[in-house]
Structure 1
Amino acid sequence: MGRDFTFVLDAEMAEKLSLFGGLLAKDTSTMLREALQDYFTKEEKRLLEKKLAEKDPLTDLGFDEFWDGVDL
């Protein structure tokens, strides 16, 4: 990895980072790392759910298609 990124935050977000940093006794890097970890976890879950919700027409048979030709 070893990449450095530059972020531009508006004044409101910078103020919130400063305020919460003081309240939580955390530095800005820690708070941003935790927030990004939470974001990535949430997005991975959302993408997985979306992928599971997508149906493959070749393997997704309806009730009648599944039982067609089966004699019980």
Structure 2
Amino acid sequence: MNNDITFVLDSETVEKLNAYGELLQKDPSTMLREALNDYFEKEEKKLLEQKLSEKDPMTDLGFDEFWDGVDL
């Protein structure tokens, strides 16, 4: 499997990447990897929240709904 991906960054993004690289003493690959990892974590959280909100309402009973009509 090929691990190379080609993408294009506009000149403003490249300038910021270089400037922050100098300020933070990090190479662009490290900064991009960190940024992507942050992005993936946020998107995974959104997907999990979306999945939970799409849960079938008939299987998500509250305490009172569950015990309604049960004689003890």
Give the TM interval when normalised to the shorter protein.
0.7 to 0.9
Q: CA RMSD in A?
A: 2.0
Q: Normalization by structure 1: what TM-score?
A: 0.79
Q: How far apart are 1:59 and its partner, in Å?
A: 1.9
The residue aligned with 2:54 is: 54
Deviation at 1:65, TM superposition (A): 6.8
Structure 1 stretches lacking a partner, 5+ long: none
Question: TM-score, normalization: structure 2?
Answer: 0.79
Segments of 5+ residues of structure 2 without an aligned counterpart are: none
Mapped to 2, the partners of 1:48 and 1:27 lie a distance apart of 32
How many residues end up aligned between the 2 structures?
A: 72
CA distance in 1, matches of 2:20, 2:53: 38
Percentage identity across paired residues of the two chains: 75
Structure that is richer in helix per residue: 2
